[in-house]
Amino acid sequence: MSEQERHDTRLDRFVDSYSQRTNGMRVSAVRALFAVANRPEIVSLAGGMPNIADLPLHGIAQSIAAMIEHNGAQVMQYGSGQGELGLREQILEVVALEGITAHPDDIVITAGSQQGLDLVTRIFCDPGDVILAESPSYVGAIGTFLSYQTEVVHIPGDDGGIDPVALLETTRRLRAEGKRVKFLYTIPNYNNPSGTTQSMERRREVLSVCESQGVIVVEDNPYGLLSLDADPIPAMRSIDPNVIYLGSFSKTFAPGFRVGWTLAPHGVREKLVLAQESATLCPPVFSQFAISTYLSTQDWQGQIGVFKDMYRQRRDAMLTGLEEHMPEGSTWTHPAGGFFVWATLPEGVDSQAMLPRAVDARVAYVPGPAFYADGDGARNVRLSYCFPTPERIRVGVQRFADVIRNELEVMSTFGIRVSPTRLRRAPGPSPDLT
């Protein structure tokens, strides 16, 4: 704690006054461990922070200074609830790289795509509504969905993403049970946490099931342009203009500006603007102009290339390390982009129970259950390669593999079988929300 002393009490006198909604907002049980995991001696394969050290800070500083000097009165003023027109036009150039054609009027600027998730849930969902999601899915989205008292149902899938047959069967079953299925939330490119990508064919199948069942598709695509092996696959929104598409500058530029966008059909867009106005009046104007300036004065596509080279090295370091060190019985995904590898541990090893031992061995990861609303994922972990250097990643993976080996040894010595518990965990955001 800082030098300042706290004089208030930890007892919450408002405990009986909170809305029922706050029941969905629970703190993860691993928060305490993460405070420890940020110590420098620990290799953290847990966080999903982009590594923005390679940004041309000098050029950015100069162009933002010029922006303030020449246009300060406008960039520090309130703005439009939908977001600045100039930036919306520039976003069209960004999404064109994924095959999307749209109109600036289709875009609502948000405070990161995280706010897009919040606004979309707010305008579509009533308590008890069902949101379908990949298995596993982004922890920050699950937290938002649960905070609106929705039910999140995971659809089984494989290395190619959502299984369209399971999607159809689950939707029909839920409807037969009288449930209101509102939308499918999907991250088709380099999924957080699984690292998997849906093929073009799979995208078409998923869209066709959703179309036939009247299920809205919400496509979340913050990593799409960070393809590490081949050109990005066109977005689902490029196939079907009814898809609600969430984009972000957090991974291709910098997350601190908190600028993302939602691309939606006309009627939805109108509701989103109303929701945005009631949430924030307008998205942050200064940040929007700063991003706009970056896009028009810097080589942003070249910078994405620099990021890709850097993440490719880190991904390769992680995959090589896993190949060399992981014990038999483990498997992991081979992401073609993005930040994450999803590993499955040998049978009987519980990722949540193992975490304190891993931190003790100076390596951290995020246990699988964080990425499920239903407590699944006990044998899984998310490993991030985005932030540590390749050398640190190699060290971290070796430590991680040694910890698993120790678990297996203890299990075989004492005949303990730590069966993967399907704990009803407290769902909701974990300390590392990304």
Ligand X SMILES: Cc1ncc(COP(=O)(O)O)c(C=O)c1O
Binding site for ligand X (CB under 6 A): 48, 112-114, 138, 140, 187, 192, 220, 222, 248, 250, 255, 260, 434
Tell me the residue nearest to ligand X as measured from the CB.
112
What does the alpha-carbon distance between residue 366 and residue 405 come to, in Å, rounded to a whole number?
18
Least Cβ distance, residue 335 to ligand X (angstroms): 13
For CA atoms 175, 177, 182, 183, the dihedral sign is negative
Least Cβ distance, residue 231 to ligand X (angstroms): 20
Check residue 279 and give left, alpha or beta (phi > 0: left; psi -120 to 50: alpha). Answer: alpha
Q: Provide the total of helices (H) and of strands (E) in the chain, helices listed first.
A: 13, 15
Task: For 70, list phi and psi in degrees, rounded to 5.
Answer: -90, -25
Least Cβ distance, residue 246 to ligand X (angstroms): 7
Residue bearing tokens 């896993």: 322
In what order do the strands lie in the sheet containing 366-367? 331-332, 340-344, 380-384, 366-367
Q: Which residues contact 230 (CB under 8 A, 6 or more apart)?
A: 336
Nearest CB to ligand X, comparing residues 257 and 289: 257
Nearest CB to ligand X, comparing residues 113 and 147: 113
Nearest CB to ligand X, comparing residues 280 and 398: 280
Nearest CB to ligand X, comparing residues 28 and 330: 28
First to last CA, the chain: 24
Pick from 269, 194, 206, 273: nearest CA to 235 = 206
Q: What residues are paired with 382 via a beta bridge?
A: 342, 366
Percent helix, strand, coil in the chain (nearest 5)? 45, 15, 40
Nearest CB to ligand X, comparing residues 188 and 420: 188
Least Cβ distance, residue 137 to ligand X (angstroms): 8
What does the alpha-carbon distance between residue 199 and residue 202 come to, in Å, rounded to a whole number?
5
Q: Which residues of 122-161 are buried (b: 16+ CB within 10 A; e: fewer)?
A: bebbeeebbbbbbbbbbbbbbbbbbbbbbbbbbbebeeeb
> What's the one-letter identity of residue 79?
G
Least Cβ distance, residue 314 to ligand X (angstroms): 16
What does the alpha-carbon distance between residue 266 and residue 216 come to, in Å, rounded to a whole number?
14
Nearest CB to ligand X, comparing residues 163 and 220: 220
Nearest CB to ligand X, comparing residues 342 and 420: 342
Helices (H), 328-389: 351-360
Least Cβ distance, residue 111 to ligand X (angstroms): 7
Least Cβ distance, residue 4 to ligand X (angstroms): 30
According to DSSP, the β-strands at 161-162 and 380-384 are unpaired
Q: Are 215 and 170 in contact (CB under 8 A)?
A: no
Nearest CB to ligand X, comparing residues 164 and 195: 195
Least Cβ distance, residue 66 to ligand X (angstroms): 26
Nearest CB to ligand X, comparing residues 222 and 367: 222
According to DSSP, the β-strands at 181-186 and 366-367 are unpaired
Least Cβ distance, residue 434 to ligand X (angstroms): 3
Q: Are 300 and 293 in contact (CB under 8 A)?
A: no
Nearest CB to ligand X, comparing residues 79 and 112: 112
Least Cβ distance, residue 337 to ligand X (angstroms): 12
Least Cβ distance, residue 260 to ligand X (angstroms): 4
